[in-house]
Amino acid sequence: MPQVSSSAIARVRYDNQRRELTVVFRSGRVYVYADVPEETYAALLAADSKGAFFNAAIRDVFPTRRQR
C-alpha cells in the first residue's frame, strides 16, 4: 500500500477489479470507498494537496465503510 505525502492521509490502495479505494489515515482509521473511478485515484496521487483533493472529490461523494 503506497504511502502518500499528506498530513492527514498515511497510505492509499486502489483495487481495479472492485473499484475500491482504501484510505488509511494518520489517526489509524481505515475507510473503503466504493465505485471510485481509476481516474479519481490517479488524480488523488497527483494532487499537490492530497487532503484537499480527498475532501473535495472523494469524501461524502462515494459510498463508504469503515474498516478500523
Any domain includes 4: no
Any domain includes 2: no
Any domain includes 46: yes
Range of the domain at 48: 9-66
At residue 28, the pLDDT reads 95
60 Rama sector, left if φ>0, alpha if ψ -120 to 50, beta otherwise: left
Look at residue 3 and tell me whether its pLDDT is greater than 90.
Answer: no
* Rounded (to 5) percent helix, strand, coil in the chain: 25, 30, 45
Taking the model in full, what pTM does it have?
Answer: 0.92
- The tens digit of pLDDT for each residue in 31-54 reads 999 999 999 999 999 999 999 999
Any domain includes 36: yes
Tally of structural domains, the chain = 1
At residue 52, the pLDDT reads 96
Any domain includes 47: yes
